[in-house]
Chains A and B, each alone.
Chain A
């Protein structure tokens, strides 16, 4: 690292690791419940576990993005962060809002709208928190000596993510309108502005790891984020097929969703091409694995599996089944979890000054977690497809079908265990690095 204030990033990453661990625990609670072992029902009913699982995901990914921004922006702008103290205030308030929301879910205190369960009063705190974060990042960027494309794309992604949170806070009496705007947040986040954030972080990592000329990398970054928005904005239509919205969304959503994998394909080809073009061989192989991994797995999980069930004729049957869970798991893992793990792997040696990336553990964590997650995706897929045929095509009752497919949740749990071992090894390595140190400023570049 080059600037003292970059150290703040470490604490955001540490919060991410903590929340990720909790997220996995709640995932297991749900997996076992599907298998018939819902012994915790009285304390943690399924809807609580579900809200906690998905909200922890959102908060740990956001915390990771924020950490990444606090690391990348000073380095790109060649300027210390405008206020380290306020960055810590922001970190603590983020953790407090997250913890209060999650505890609240255990006491029936929520707003049951998928992914946006945070109760309304806490929503306002989220807004204040994000404004503080953006204020710090943008002030640093404008005070800085340089405004690179990478930092602008990253900041734009963060700014739009904040703006898009607002439509989700409007109250509607009509369930369809409620859903319509809920997707403005959820879809335009994950298939829009979060890809901007991902692209920005990916470009930064590629510049650092491959040594390819910044101008080349940033040119292609524009093309990729352009493809993302052109396909992703109207691709929102795939959420408007069957919720009380008109039929023209079937065509618009169908066509533009089919284009969505292009952005991810572009990202994968871009990462591989830059890696092959680069003459620099950065010694941090673990970070390289995660960087190329995120580009490839996001194409499969978000791109291919996404388009597989956004074809309107298919979606009529798969909409609201475990097929969605299949796509959701590999998409979030490939695109957003892995990009976070990539930036954390890259920055830890630089923040702490300890170059521990040469151990086998880093590689082990990468493969175990990825193979585990692929196995989980297949288990969800088999369960989902079986559910679609039995329930939606043959017309068997929901409960009967669930009993028939419960065996796939045993496989899911085995794969999830493998995944968890991988994540434990990753976190063990994270802890082993220790705290960030000022000495690291002189040790790394």
Chain B
């Protein structure tokens, strides 16, 4: 029958082994794989400023990027493929609240430079290799909206 000290050994041993594996894999992921898959060399000062704007305005509070965030507004990883750059710029610099289909977005009224930074960030995001996310819709051809 399992004794308390066996149980403690299972807990401590299991934790140490899995955590060691986790640390090893994390090291490999961060040092080799992520820089390659995300084109780390393309992270320009503009992209960094864009990321800062993305965070300081909590864009993730409505949108998702890489599928992470909130589910109130569209996923933006591939937004620069879906939309014209001029459209995105207009939306970001608009001083009037944007409300596609009645759902309002805060009117941030960004400057041209800020809009360019955010677009650089979104362009960088769109080029990252996300293992196939977002998947291409299977029945896109049946959809009359496009």
| Among A137-145, A313-321, A333-341, the stretch in contact with B | A313-321
* Contact residues on B (Cβ < 8 Å of other chain), bracket: 35 or more
> Is the pair B72, A223 in contact by a Cβ cutoff of 8 Å?
no
Closest to A227 in B: B14
Q: Mark each residue of chain B from 114 to 146: 1 if its CB lies under 8 Å from any CB of chain A, else 0.
A: 000000010001001111111101111011011
* Contact residues on A (Cβ < 8 Å of other chain), bracket: 35 or more
Can you name 6 A-B residue pairings with CB atoms under 8 Å? A222-B11, A229-B14, A244-B34, A244-B66, A320-B71, A387-B71
Task: Say if the beta carbon of A77 comes within 8 Å of chain B.
Answer: no
> Is the pair A394, B10 in contact by a Cβ cutoff of 8 Å?
no
Complex interface residues of chain B between 28 and 85 (CB less than 8 A to chain A): 29-30, 33-35, 37-38, 40, 43, 47-48, 51, 54-62, 64-75
The majority secondary structure among interface residues of chain A is helix
| Among A90-98, A290-298, A395-403, the stretch in contact with B | A395-403
Give Cα A220 to B140, complex, Å: 52
B4: chain A residues within 8 A (beta carbon)? 149, 215, 218-219, 222
A interface residues, Cβ below 8 angstroms from B: 30, 33-34, 36, 38, 41, 45-48, 50-51, 105, 108, 110-114, 117, 149, 173-180, 215, 218-220, 222-223, 225-227, 229-230, 233-234, 236, 240-250, 252, 316-317, 319-322, 324-325, 387, 391-400, 402-403
Closest CB of chain B to A190's CB: distance in Å? 15
B121: chain A residues within 8 A (beta carbon)? 175
> Is the pair A33, B135 in contact by a Cβ cutoff of 8 Å?
no
Closest CB of chain B to A257's CB: distance in Å? 13
A110: chain B residues within 8 A (beta carbon)? 56, 58
Closest to A252 in B: B25
> Is the pair A114, B57 in contact by a Cβ cutoff of 8 Å?
no
> Is the pair A245, B100 in contact by a Cβ cutoff of 8 Å?
no
A246 is contacted by which of B19, B37, B103, B142 (Cβ under 8 Å)? B37
Q: A46-B72, A320-B75 are in contact. Are A243 and B135 (CB under 8 A)?
A: no
> Is the pair B66, A50 in contact by a Cβ cutoff of 8 Å?
no
Closest to A52 in B: B61
B58: chain A residues within 8 A (beta carbon)? 47-48, 51, 105, 108, 110-112, 117
Task: Say if the beta carbon of B86 comes within 8 Å of chain A.
Answer: no
Q: Which of B35, B67, B142 has the most CB of A within 10 A?
A: B67
B102: chain A residues within 8 A (beta carbon)? 36
Closest to B134 in A: A392
- Please name 16 further chain A to chain B contacts, defined as beta carbons within 8 Å, in addition to the given A45-B62, A398-B75, sorted by A numbering: A47-B59, A50-B62, A112-B55, A112-B58, A176-B128, A226-B11, A226-B15, A230-B18, A233-B19, A243-B66, A243-B68, A245-B33, A249-B25, A393-B139, A395-B139, A400-B145
B125 is contacted by which of A108, A175, A394 (Cβ under 8 Å)? A175
Closest to A172 in B: B51
Closest to A316 in B: B135
A322 is contacted by which of B10, B11, B69, B71 (Cβ under 8 Å)? B71
Closest to A45 in B: B106
Closest CB of chain A to B105's CB: distance in Å? 8
> Is the pair A47, B48 in contact by a Cβ cutoff of 8 Å?
no
Task: Say if the beta carbon of B95 comes within 8 Å of chain A.
Answer: no
Closest to A321 in B: B71
A112 is contacted by which of B19, B59, B67, B138 (Cβ under 8 Å)? B59
Closest to B124 in A: A175
Closest to B54 in A: A112
A248: chain B residues within 8 A (beta carbon)? 25
B14: chain A residues within 8 A (beta carbon)? 226-227, 229-230
B61: chain A residues within 8 A (beta carbon)? 46-48, 50-51, 112, 117
A240: chain B residues within 8 A (beta carbon)? 29
Give Cα A34 to B56, complex, Å: 24
Closest CB of chain A to B40's CB: distance in Å? 6
> Is the pair B18, A229 in contact by a Cβ cutoff of 8 Å?
yes
A111: chain B residues within 8 A (beta carbon)? 55-56, 58
